[in-house]
């Protein structure tokens, strides 16, 4: 593992993946995946079920080790970026303790991440997701969208420079989805890099750049407009299908 001070804070790419491979038994989940996420951008990872989005995010989060290729996170090894407290990860399924309060959950995550001034950070994170009035509520008594907001708050406690959000707006109503994207924009404006996975094409237009992934490989990468122009289709959904077929 690299020591934290070997991480290059000024790196151009927050995530640089070249030919990343990951296999689960007979299943090749990542088959030479290439993509590069610029520091400070919102990067959308778009692809159908089983295309490898979560697997890739787990590699970036240092939870899975690729068998091949090169993967650099914030200028160093994924594990170095994670242990330096620079990476936040919101998993696809909410990982909260339902019988504990919002405050108790956030306190637990703050302790895990070694967050200093936890009281203030919890208030700040809850304010960001507009849930300060529910700090004492038991998680099981919250609506499902509220729980998603608490999960997001939990990933913000240690002020990560790279935020990994695995389908963060699934089950979230259109109003809240709008609010979420407003938070994401606010975070990006303050210098945070965001990797957001989705299979909802309408979210794609909100990302600075996109990687279209299928069967563990990137079909195409660029802004939504660039991808539509490259495919010569009227919209992104048909661009995705055209690019998948061309491959």
Residues that bind ligand ATP (CB under 6 A): 24, 27, 29, 47, 49-55, 92, 199
Q: What's the rounded Cα separation, in Å, for the pair 94 and 97?
A: 9
- The yes or no reply on residue 54 touching Mg ion (CB under 5 A) is yes
* Strand ranges (E), the chain: 13-24, 27-38, 42-46, 68-73, 87-90, 162-166, 193-198, 209-214, 217-222
Nearer to ligand ATP, 28 or 226 (CB): 28
Nearer to ligand ATP, 24 or 97 (CB): 24
Q: What's the rounded Cα separation, in Å, for the pair 246 and 231?
A: 9
Nearer to Mg ion, 101 or 198 (CB): 198
* 173 neighbors 21 (Cβ within 8 angstroms): no
137 binds, among ligand ATP, Mg ion, none (CB under 5 to 8 A by kind): none
Q: x/- site string to Mg ion, residues 78 to 117, per CB under 5 A?
A: --------------x-------------------------
CA dihedral 100, 102, 107, 112 (to 10 degrees): 80
Nearest distance in Å: CB 59, ligand ATP: 10
Instruction: Pick the piece of the chain touching Mg ion (CB under 5 A) from 13-21, 54-62, 188-196, 231-239.
Output: 54-62
**Cross-sheet strand order for the sheet of 27-38:** 27-38, 13-24, 68-73
* 22 neighbors 67 (Cβ within 8 angstroms): yes
238 binds, among ligand ATP, Mg ion, none (CB under 5 to 8 A by kind): none
Nearer to ligand ATP, 39 or 236 (CB): 236
The SS3 call for residue 60 is: helix
Nearer to ligand ATP, 64 or 187 (CB): 64
Eight-state DSSP code of residue 172: -
Nearest distance in Å: CB 194, Mg ion: 16
Nearest distance in Å: CB 20, ligand ATP: 12
Nearest distance in Å: CB 131, ligand ATP: 25
Q: What's the rounded Cα separation, in Å, for the pair 118 and 162?
A: 20
> Beta 217-222 vs 68-73: how paired, if at all?
unpaired
Estimate to the nearest angstrom the gap between the alpha carbon of 97 and the chain centroid: 21
Nearer to Mg ion, 54 or 238 (CB): 54
Nearest distance in Å: CB 195, ligand ATP: 13
Nearest distance in Å: CB 213, ligand ATP: 7
> Beta 87-90 vs 13-24: how paired, if at all?
unpaired
The residues of the shown chain that bind Mg ion, judged by CB under 5 A, are: 53-54, 92
């Amino acid at each position: 593992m690299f020591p934290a001070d070997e991480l290059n804070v000024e790196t151009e790419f927050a995530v640089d993946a070249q030919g990343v491979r990951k296999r689960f038994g007979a299943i090749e989940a990542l088959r030479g995946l290439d993509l590069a996420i610029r520091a400070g951008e919102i990067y959308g990872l778009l692809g159908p079920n089983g295309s490898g989005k979560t697997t890739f995010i787990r590699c970036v989060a240092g939870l899975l080790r690729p068998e091949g290729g090169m993967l650099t996170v914030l200028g160093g090894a994924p594990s170095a970026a994670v242990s330096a407290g620079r990476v936040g990860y919101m998993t696809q399924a909410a990982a909260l303790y339902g019988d504990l309060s919002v405050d108790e959950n956030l306190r637990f995550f703050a302790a895990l991440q070694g967050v200093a001034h936890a009281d203030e950070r919890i208030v700040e994170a809850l304010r960001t997701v507009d849930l300060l009035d529910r700090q004492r509520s038991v998680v099981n008594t919250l609506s499902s969208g509220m729980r998603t907001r608490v999960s997001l708050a939990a990933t913000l406690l240690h002020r990560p420079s790279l935020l990994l959000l695995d389908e963060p707006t699934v089950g979230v109503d259109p109003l809240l989805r709008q609010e979420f994207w407003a938070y994401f924009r606010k975070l990006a404006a303050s210098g945070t890099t965001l990797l957001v996975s989705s299979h909802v094409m309408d979210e794609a237009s909100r990302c600075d750049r996109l990687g279209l992934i299928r069967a563990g490989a990137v079909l195409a990468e660029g802004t939504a407009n660039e991808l539509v122009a490259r495919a010569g289709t009227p919209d992104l959904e048909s661009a995705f299908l055209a690019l998948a077929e061309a491959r």
